[in-house]
Structure 1
């Protein structure tokens, strides 16, 4: 039988006192901080975002855009 996180929370964690909940959070945090990041299997890489949204800037005059932003900052 596999318990879901929600089931564990409802059946066990919810019943704990505030002090016990804090101890549990501390224990979980400590365990997570000790994990070797190499052991974590990430589904995606930040590098997958490279070039995303490039079409937005395709016809934009970047210097003009930056000047407009700076003038907005001066007005504020």
Structure 2
């Protein structure tokens, strides 16, 4: 019999409360392993300033006015 089958049989002999606790503990262990092996998440703040040189020579208010005027056709 495989280890998995043995563990499953042992889990079936537990009370429902113990089974729930086992599930919670296993979930916690799995989450920790996934967190340790997953790639670090990025923050939107890493994009701060990206492309700012494009806007150097453009007046912000004039740009907004032109965009608003284009809405009306």
Q: TM-score, normalised by structure 1?
A: 0.42
Q: TM-score, normalised by structure 2?
A: 0.43
Name the one with the larger helix percent. 2
